[in-house]
Chains A and B, each alone.
Chain A
Amino acid sequence: MYLTNLLSPAPMHIPDGFLSVIVSVLLWIVSIAAVAYALKRVNQDLGERQVPLMGVLAAAIFAGQMLNFTVAGGTSGHLMGAAIATILLGPWAAVLVMTTVVGVQALVFQDGGLLALGANIFNMAVVGVAVSYFVYQTVYRLSRGQRWGIFVGGFLAAWTSIEIAALATGLELAISGTSPANLAIPAMGGIHAIIGIGESLITLGALAFIYATRPDLLGAGQKQVTGGKTLWVVGLVIAVALAIASPLASSHPDGLEWVAGQKGFLDTARGPLFQIIPDYVLPGVTNEALATILAGILGTLIVFGMALVVAYTRRNRSTPNQ
C-alpha cells in the first residue's frame, strides 16, 4: 500500500490537506522557533563566510538528491541530507540549510505543501538534524575522534534521522486523523527503515570520499558548538519520545481515532491534544502498553546500543596501542 512512497523521490514531504490545521500551526510555531534560534546561533558563531557556503551547500543537497542508485525492483535510494549537512556544517547551519532545501521544494516544486511546510521543516530540518547530531556526536565522542567514529557515526546518524523523521510524519498524519495510527506509523517506519539504508550508504560513501580528499572539512564540524549540549539532549529526547509515542499510538489507534473522529479537522482547535492525555495515556498505562513502550524504546535505540558495544570493543582494542 505504501509502496509508491518508495518509488517517489520525496517520501516524507507531506502535501497540503493531509494535516489538521492545529497540527500544521503548532508545528509551524515549533519550526519558526527552532529556525530563529539557529539563525541567532549562526549569526553569533560563524563568520560571514558561511552565508555563501550555506546557500551553495543547500543547492548541493538539492542536486545531490538527484544522484540515486538502484536498490531493488525499480526502487532507488537517494539522499535526504540532514545527516551529512549536520556533519559537515554543524547543527545550526544544518538546520538553516535543510530549511532552505525543504522550503524551496515546497515553494517552487510543490514537493510538500505550504501550510504543511512547518511540519515538513520540523520533520526534516529540526528532527532530522537534532537526531543526526545526537547520534553522530555520541558515536564520535566514544570513538575519541578516530576515523571509524566518523564513518560509523555518519552511517547510524543517517539511518536514525530518516527513521525518526518518518515516525514523526506517521504520528502527525495519525493525530490529524488522516491515516489510522496502526497503519500509518508502522508503514512509515517500516518503509523508511529500508529507505534509511540507502541514505546511510550514500552518507557513508560521501564521508569516505570527503575524508580521502579533504579530511579538514570533517574536522571543522567537530568544533565545540555553542548550545551543542542542549541540542544533544533535544536529539535524545526527540528520539526517545517518538520511540515511545509511535508504538503507543499504533497499538491504541482507537484513542487517536476517537479524538480525530469526534473532533474532525476543525474542532481540533478545542485541543484534542490535551484530550489525548485523559482519554488515551492514563487508561493506557497497563502492562500491555508499558510493554509496547519498552519495545518501542528498545527497537529504536537498538542501533544505538549496537553503536555503544562496537564503540567500547573498539576502544578497548585500540587503547593499548596508543
Chain B
Amino acid sequence: MHVHFLDPYRSGQSPIHRLDARVKFVLTLAFILTAALTPPGAWPVYILLFALVLAVEIFSEIGVGFVLKRAMLAFFFILAALPVIFTIPGPALFHLPLGAWTLTASLPGVERFLSIAMKSWVSIQAAILLATTTTFPELMTAMRAVRIPRLLVAIFGLMWRYLFVLADEALRLMRARQARSGYAGQPGLKPGGSLAWRGRVAGGMVGNLFLRAFERSDRIYMAMLARGYDGEMRLEPLPDLSNRSWLVLLVSMGMLVVLLAFALLFWA
C-alpha cells in the first residue's frame, strides 16, 4: 500500500487550477484575514464570504461536497469555543439545566460563538481550495514570491519529496507490528502489554524510522554532491505575473477590501 492518497491535490483544468499559484496564495491569505477582521455578528458579511468561497469551489470543479466534508476537519476544535456561549454576560437567550447548575446562554455569547464558527468554516474552505487546486511545486513558487528564505523553501521541498517515501516506511513498520501482535479473542483478556511497553514499542518504531531517514539523507546528500551541489540553493528566477493574473489579483483584492469596509462600517 502506498500513501499517495495523502496528497490533497486534485488535478483539473478549471480556471482556478490554471490561476497563478502566487495569486491564489495571496488571495487565500487575504480572504482568511478578511474573515478574521470581520466583527462578530456581521451576518450578511459572513454569508457573502461563504458565497464567495462557494462560488470559487463550484468554479474549481473539485466538488462542493468534497470541500465541505474536508472542512469538518477543523470542527472538533469548535468545542474549545463552546463555553463562550455561557460566559459572556448579556441578555439571556435560553437556559440549559445541567444537574445542579443551570447554564444561561447569553445573546452576545451565542453571537460570538457562531461568529467564531463561521470564520473558522469559511477560512478552512479557502485553505482547502488552495491545497486541492495547487501542486506543491507551485506552492513553493508562491512561498518564494512572498520572500520566504531559499533555505527554508529548500527544506520544504525536500520534505515534500520524501514525505511519501517515509510515510510508506511508517506504514510498513505498522504492518510489521500488526503482524507480530496477537489479539485476544476472549473478552476481558487484555492484549498488548503495559502502557509503557506499548509506548516503548512505538518509540522503537519511531527510532527506526529516524535512523532510516538519517541514512537516506546521507545517500541523498551523496547524490546531490554527485550532481554538483555546493551548498547553494539555485532556483530559477520567478516569471513575471501575467496581465490577467494581475487583473484577477487586483479585482479580488478590491472585492475583499470593499467587503471588509462594509463589515467595519456597519458592525464595528
CA distance A88 to B217 in the complex (A): 14
A208 and B155 alpha carbons, distance in the complex (Å) = 27
Minimum CB–CB distance for B178 against chain A, Å: 12
> CB-CB < 8 A to A55: which residues of B?
154-159, 161-162, 217
Q: B152 contacts A100, CB within 8 Å? A: yes
Which residues of chain B come closer than 8 Å to A115, judged between CB atoms? 29, 32-33, 36, 123
**Besides A51-B231, A96-B152, A184-B83, 6 new A-B residue pairs in contact (Cβ under 8 A), listed by A number:** A15-B123, A15-B124, A56-B159, A202-B199, A207-B207, A265-B40
Instruction: Pick 29 A–B contacts, CB within 8 A, sort by A.
Output: A5-B80, A16-B35, A16-B36, A55-B156, A55-B158, A55-B217, A56-B158, A56-B159, A56-B166, A59-B213, A63-B169, A66-B167, A66-B171, A69-B199, A70-B198, A101-B159, A104-B160, A109-B131, A113-B120, A113-B123, A114-B28, A115-B36, A178-B80, A183-B87, A197-B199, A202-B206, A205-B199, A205-B202, A210-B210
With a 10 A CB-CB cut-off, give which of A67, A115, A253 has the most chain B CB atoms: A67
Closest to A85 in B: B210
Are A206 and B217 in contact, with the CB atoms below 8 A? no
- Let me know if A241 is at the binding interface, CB within 8 A: no
| Contacting pair A204 B40 (CB below 8 A) | no
| Shortest Cβ gap from A284 to chain B (Å) | 19
B102-120 interface code vs A (CB 8 A; 1 in, 0 out): 0000001000100111111
Candidates A39, A69, A107, A183; contact of B152 at CB < 8 Å: A39
User: Considering the complex, which residues of chain A in the window 66-119 have a beta carbon less than 8 Å from any beta carbon of chain B?
Assistant: 66-72, 77-79, 84, 88, 96-97, 99-101, 103-104, 106-111, 113-115
A190 at the interface (CB under 8 A from B): no
B196 interfacial by beta-carbon distance below 8 Å: yes
CB pair A63–B231 under 8 Å, yes or no, is: no
Q: What mask results when residues 23 to 50 of chain B are scored 1 for a CB within 8 Å of chain A, else 0?
A: 0000011001101110110000000000
Complex Cα distance, B220 from A71, in Å, reads: 36
Within the complex, the shortest CB–CB distance from B168 to chain A, in Å, comes to 8
Contacts of A49 in B (CB 8 A): 221
Chain B hits for A47, CB < 8 A: 231
Which of the candidate stretches B11-19, B54-62, B69-77, B237-245 sits at the interface with the other chain?
B69-77
- Asked whether A21 is an interface residue with its Cβ less than 8 Å from the other chain, the reply is yes
Asked if residues B199 and A18 are in contact (CB atoms below 8 Å), the reply is no
Q: Is B100 among interface residues, defined by CB-CB distance under 8 A?
A: no
Task: Please name all residues of chain B whose beta carbon is closer than 8 Å to the beta carbon of A4 when the two chains form the complex.
Answer: 76, 79
Question: Which chain A positions have C-beta within 8 A of B161?
Answer: 55
- Identify B203's interface contact among A42, A101, A205, CB under 8 A: A205
CB interface residues, A 164-208, toward B, < 8 Å:
173, 177-180, 183-184, 197-198, 200-208
Q: How far is the CB of B255 from chain A (nearest CB, A)?
A: 19
Of residues A2, A108, A209, which shows the largest number of chain B Cβ atoms within 10 Å of its Cβ? A108
Query: Interface on chain A toward B: helix, strand, loop, or mixed SS?
Result: helix
Interface set of A (CB-CB < 8 Å, partner B): 1-2, 4-5, 7-8, 14-21, 24, 35-36, 39, 42-43, 47-49, 51-60, 62-64, 66-72, 77-79, 84, 88, 96-97, 99-101, 103-104, 106-111, 113-115, 173, 177-180, 183-184, 197-198, 200-210, 213-214, 217, 253, 257, 261, 264-267
B window 161-191: CB within 8 A of A: 161-163, 165-167, 169-171, 173-174
Of the candidates B80, B214, B229, which one forms a contact with A18 in the assembled complex, judged by CB atoms under 8 Å apart?
B80
Nearest-CB distance from B149 to chain A (Å)? 6
In the bound complex, what is the Cα–Cα distance between A201 and B157 (angstroms)?
31
Neighbour of A64 across the interface among B158, B209, B232, B233, CB < 8 A: B209
Instruction: Assess whether A18 is in contact with B116, with CB atoms less than 8 Å apart.
Output: yes
Q: Which residues of A contact B156 (CB under 8 A)?
A: 55, 100, 103-104
Tell me the complex Cα distance, A7–B28, Å.
Answer: 29
* B264 proximal to A (CB < 8 A): yes
Q: Is A208 within 8 A of B209, CB to CB?
A: no
Please give the distance in Å from B207's CB to the nearest CB on chain A. 3
A267 to B200, CA, bound (A): 49
The 8 closest A-B pairs by CB, nearest first: A205-B203, A55-B158, A201-B199, A209-B207, A48-B231, A17-B120, A17-B119, A16-B123
CB distance from B5 to the nearest CB of A (A): 12
Q: List, in ascending order, chain A residues with CB within 8 A of B159's CB.
A: 55-56, 58-59, 62, 100-101, 104
> Is there an interface contact between B211 and A214, defined as CB atoms closer than 8 Å?
yes
Q: Is B259 an interface residue (CB 8 A)?
A: no
Q: Tell me if B261 counts as interface (CB < 8 A to partner A).
A: no
Task: Report the Cα distance A184→B156, complex, angstroms.
Answer: 33
Q: How far is it, in angstroms, between the C-alpha of A156 and the C-alpha of B201 when the chains are bound?
A: 19
The docked-state distance in angstroms from the alpha carbon of A201 to that of B197 is 9
B residues less than 8 Å from A20 (CB atoms): 36
